[in-house]
Structure 1
Amino acid sequence: MLAMNYRITLPADYDMGIIRHRVATRGHALDDFPGLGLKAYLIKERGVAGSAVNQYAPFYLWHTAEGMNSFLWGPGFRGLVADFGRPVVEHWTGLAFRPGPAVAAEPLAAVRRAERLAPGEDPADAVARAVDELAAEAGRPGVHSAAVVIDPRHWELVRFTLWEPEPTQVPDEPGAERCRVLHLSRPGLDALGAGRQW
């Protein structure tokens, strides 16, 4: 499993209806994209759910590297670059994925929590702890699914959870970014498996 996220911060007075229209008219293009586990079309709106910015921030879980490459070098991403400029694409290797009790529902919210490992921390211990904690996270009522991923270049762990409730109804957690899900493409959700990825 591979994870990918880019975050396009927009002006404070940007009409987020433009992004909503973009997702409504183009989002279904990835509903059957080969190699894609899921893509959550995420937005943050200034003044909503504690956000200080307007942002378009899709988050992807891929079950094949070929799928991710096909997207990045294909027409979909080229269209985004043409409209918004080339964003920084963060990417991580997958550690574990779990469906939650609301996996059959349409998620309305996402929570992304990033954590840098301390310089002296054993990465194997940190990964084991994060994978163990994922089972409890994914089992919470209202959770669609949850994943934990890592960037071993910067030693950053990211926990990503999709929720059925609205962003304002999701429990607030220190350091967590809450987003609204406009659409979820999930052609290979089952191919992501359940549990740790090794």
Structure 2
Amino acid sequence: MHAMQYEITLPADYDMTIVHRRIATRGHLLDGHPGLGLKAYLVRERGLDGSPVNQYAPFYLWRTAEGMNGFLWGPGFRGLSADFGRPAVRHWLGAGLRRGGAPGTPAAATRRLDRLPEDADPAEAVERALAELPDHPDLHTAAVAVDPGRWELLHIALWLRAAPEDAPGTRYRVHHLSSPELDRLPVGRHW
């Protein structure tokens, strides 16, 4: 599993209905993309859920590198780059996944990034992060991934309703979910 995200931070007075319309008209285009576990169309709006910025920040869990490459080198990412400029794409190696028990489409997401101290054992840190994957009735999907270039842990959780008050991290609203191969992503530890 590969995790991927890019963030497009927009001006404070940006008309976010443009982003909403883009998702409503184009979001379905990845509903059947080969190799895609899920794409959560994440949005932050200044003044909502404590966000200081307007931001479009799609998050992906890829089942295959071929699917991820097909997206990055294909028409979808080219179109996004033509409209907003080419964003930096963050990439993490999947370490583990938990699926929630309640069916439905998520409405919210939380994302937390933790740098590992130089003296930390990465394997122990990943094991702790996996043990801390949320187990909550409103959980849709949660994952842990690692950027070994930065030694950074990514914690992502998608929630059926608003994220729980005690859920740490940056808060997003989910405006669409494409999940063509979510059921094919391995659950649990990924090594």
Specify the TM-score bucket, using the shorter chain as the normaliser: over 0.9
**Residue correspondence of structure 1 range 7-86 to structure 2 within 5 A:** 7-86=7-86
Give the conservation status (yes or no) of the 8 Å contact 2:110–2:167. no
Which amino acid in 2 is paired with 1:91?
A: H
State the partner residue of 2:165: 171
Runs of at least 5 residues in structure 1 that lack an aligned partner in the other structure = none
**Alignment pair present for 1:119 and 2:118:** yes
Question: Matches of 1:133 and 1:106 in 2, distance apart?
Answer: 23
Question: Structure 1 runs of 4+ off > 3 angstroms?
Answer: none
User: How many angstroms apart in 1 are the aligned matches of 2:153 and 2:65?
Assistant: 20
For the aligned residue pairs, the C-alpha RMSD in angstroms reads: 0.9
TM-score (norm 1): 0.94
Q: CA deviation at 1:172?
A: 4.1
| Cα distance per residue 1:113-158 (max 9 Å; x no partner) | 1100011111111011111222xx0x21201010000000000001
SS of the residue 2:19 aligns to? helix
Query: In the TM superposition, what is the alpha-carbon distance from 1:166 to its structure 2 partner?
Result: 2.9
Distance in 1 between the 2:84 and 2:176 partners?
A: 20
5+ residue gaps, structure 2, are none
Q: Secondary structure at the match of 1:171?
A: coil
Instruction: Tell me the secondary structure at the aligned position of residue 127 of structure 2.
Output: helix
AA partner of residue 124 (structure 1): A
Equivalent in the alignment of 1:157: 153
Of 174, 186, 189, the match for 1:193: 186
What's the counterpart of residue 87 of structure 1?
87
Q: TM-score, normalised by structure 2?
A: 0.98
Looking at structure 2, the residues matched to 101 and 49 of structure 1 have their Cα atoms a distance apart, in angstroms, of 25
Q: Deviations over 1:80-113 (max 9, x none)?
A: 00000010100000000110122x2110000001
The residue aligned with 1:182 is 175
Once residues 188 and 156 of structure 2 are traced to their aligned partners in structure 1, the CA distance between those partners, rounded to angstroms, is 14
Letter in 1 for 2:84: F
Corresponding residue SS for 1:55: strand
2:87 and 2:166 map into 1 onto residues whose CA distance is: 28
CA distance in 2, matches of 1:47, 1:29: 30
For the Cα contact (< 8 Å) 2:63–2:184, is it kept in 1? yes
Structure 2 counterpart of 1:143, one-letter code: L
Partner in structure 1 of residue 108 of structure 2: 109
Q: Percent identity?
A: 62
Q: Distance in 1 between matches of 2:53 and 2:166?
A: 17
